[in-house]
């Protein structure tokens, strides 16, 4: 791992650490501490999603034209301003405007950091680099949330102001770290001049059939898993399974623990398998997770068995996430023409935000009241992941689906270069 990649990973950990301080307590802060009510708190969460959807289509083009580092620095300063403003805001208008600024900055960080990882890695090291990123993000979120929980006091506004100030400080510290990164020379864009415009680059992306299928698959992945964690699945656990808040916290901890423990063990297994088949296996694992959730809420076991099944659901989701981190993000990079990784990363981040916006809206009401239909629906979505992944595999070249095998054949034939024509 080179110096640039080490700093990028430090940056990922710092940004996640800062987010962990505030994300779990945002609803309580707006609705109760500031006394603005549940409706305003819900609007704040919606504003985060809307801000991301607005800025991400432009972020990709900016990354391609200016490079990921300047875009990241701009996003970090924007997010720091938004976080500090949110901690000081006392009325609904100020809270919503601050949330929009913070949400826009946070949204742009993801594709910018992902593009920096692509530019500082090779096809051989990319899966491990993205696995490390995912590991550090979850570790940072967990540690930040744990420390933030001990600092916060719902009776004192100043304690929440401190949390948002710490988040802003983390973003500014990350600016200092990222300024020292020496990025390799940006690759030239391998597209026709007519496609160099923003409209043309999106047309070129939409003409990539494999990328379009991956975006559809990505939407289902995020909709059926990440979009349910803190909405439908938690509501289902409380209403249908009678899960206590402490048990729900244990389930979330089990998810993070599984990722932290299994990430690099899983990586050894995933690196030598077809990417499309590994995503298909994740769909099957999540189907088992939904079966366990169904037993927890619809079965007739003891409370201990119900709690164990519910915690297992989150742990199985974590295992699937650990398998996806070294698979999906590198695949997005390998599908991108040279120099277009920022555009492709931003497009995939946009799909993720759409799924995270729609997922809670659909899953929340279903999980709270339509218990059996909720389980059946998302069980079918998980099986759909498997089907979509296998179909995607038919669109991928060997270098995209099995990069390790393509490299080994070049070595065997005595070739001097890696056959990865789509490397960004």
Average pLDDT over residues 175-183: 83
- The residues near 257 (Cβ < 8 Å, ≥ 6 apart) are 315, 318
**pLDDT at res. 256:** 83
* Six token digits for residue 391: 């179909």
- The residues near 27 (Cβ < 8 Å, ≥ 6 apart) are 41, 45
**pLDDT at res. 235:** 81
**pLDDT at res. 94:** 92
**pLDDT at res. 186:** 54
| Per-residue pLDDT reduced to its tens digit, 36-95 | 887 887 788 778 888 888 888 888 888 888 888 899 999 999 999 999 999 898 898 999
∠113-114-116 over CA atoms, to 5°?
Answer: 65
Average pLDDT over residues 326-330: 88
Q: 239 or 328, which is more confident?
A: 328
The gap from C-alpha 276 to its chain's centroid, in whole angstroms, comes to: 19
| Per-residue pLDDT reduced to its tens digit, 213-252 | 999 999 999 988 887 876 788 888 878 888 876 787 788 7
- Please give the Cα distance from 236 to 99 (Å, whole number): 28
**pLDDT at res. 423:** 39
Determine contact, residues 14/140, Cβ cutoff 8 Å. Answer: yes
**pLDDT at res. 230:** 66
| Per-residue pLDDT reduced to its tens digit, 188-217 | 445 544 444 555 567 778 888 999 999 999
Q: Which of 193, 245, 195, 236 is nearest to 369 (CA)?
A: 236
- Please give the Cα distance from 127 to 122 (Å, whole number): 9
**Crossing angle (nearest 10°) for helices 3-22 and 92-119:** 160
Mean residue pLDDT of the chain comes to 82
Give 122's DSSP letter. -
The gap from C-alpha 261 to its chain's centroid, in whole angstroms, comes to: 19
Model confidence at 351: pLDDT above 70: yes
* Six token digits for residue 267: 């990586």
Model confidence at 27: pLDDT above 80: no
Name the H helices within 188-302.
198-206, 209-224, 232-239, 245-270, 275-298
∠110-114-120 over CA atoms, to 5°?
Answer: 150
Position of tokens 């990328």?
A: 211
Model confidence at 420: pLDDT above 60: no
Model confidence at 419: pLDDT above 70: no
Q: Which of 10-14, 272-276, 383-387 has the highest mean pLDDT?
A: 383-387
**pLDDT at res. 279:** 94
């Amino acid at each position: 791992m080179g110096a640039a990649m080490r700093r990028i990973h430090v940056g990922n950990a710092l940004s996640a650490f800062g987010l962990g301080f505030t994300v779990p307590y945002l609803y309580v802060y707006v609705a109760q501490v500031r006394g603005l009510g549940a409706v305003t708190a819900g609007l704040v969460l919606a504003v985060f999603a809307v801000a991301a959807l607005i800025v991400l289509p432009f972020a990709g083009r900016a990354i391609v034209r200016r490079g990921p580092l300047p875009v990241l620095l701009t996003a970090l300063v924007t997010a720091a301003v938004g976080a500090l403003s949110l901690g000081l805001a006392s009325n609904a208008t100020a809270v919503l405007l601050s949330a929009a600024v913070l949400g826009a900055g946070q949204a742009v960080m993801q594709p910018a950091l992902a593009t920096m990882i692509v530019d500082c890695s090779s096809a051989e090291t990319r899966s491990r680099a993205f696995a490390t990123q995912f590991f550090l993000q979850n570790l940072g979120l967990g540690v930040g949330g744990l420390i933030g929980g001990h600092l916060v006091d719902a009776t004192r506004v100043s304690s929440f102001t401190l949390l948002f100030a710490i988040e802003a400080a983390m973003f500014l510290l990350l600016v200092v770290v990222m300024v020292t990164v020496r990025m390799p020379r940006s690759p030239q864009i391998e597209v026709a001049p007519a496609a160099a415009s923003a409209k043309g680059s999106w047309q070129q992306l939409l003409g990539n059939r494999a990328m379009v299928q991956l975006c559809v698959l990505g939407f289902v992945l995020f909709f059926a898993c990440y979009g349910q964690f803190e909405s439908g699945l938690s509501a289902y656990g409380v209403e249908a399974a009678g899960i206590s808040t402490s048990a729900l916290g244990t389930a979330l901890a089990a998810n993070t623990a599984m990722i932290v423990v299994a990430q690099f063990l899983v990586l050894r297994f995933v690196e030598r398998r077809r990417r499309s088949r590994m995503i298909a296996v994740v769909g099957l694992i999540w189907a088992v997770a939904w079966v366990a959730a169904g037993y927890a809420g619809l079965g007739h076991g003891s409370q201990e068995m119900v709690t164990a099944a519910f915690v297992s659901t989150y742990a199985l989701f974590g295992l699937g996430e650990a398998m996806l981190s070294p698979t999906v993000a590198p695949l997005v990079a390998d599908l991108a023409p040279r120099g277009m990784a920022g555009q492709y990363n931003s497009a995939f981040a946009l799909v993720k935000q759409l799924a995270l916006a729609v997922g809670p809206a659909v899953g929340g009401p279903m999980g709270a009241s339509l218990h059996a239909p909720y389980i059946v629906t998302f069980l079918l979505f998980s099986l759909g992941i498997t089907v979509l992944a296998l179909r995607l595999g038919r669109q991928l070249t060997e270098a995209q689906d099995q990069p390790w095998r393509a490299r080994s054949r070049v070595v065997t034939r005595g070739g001097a270069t890696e056959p990865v024509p789509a490397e960004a």
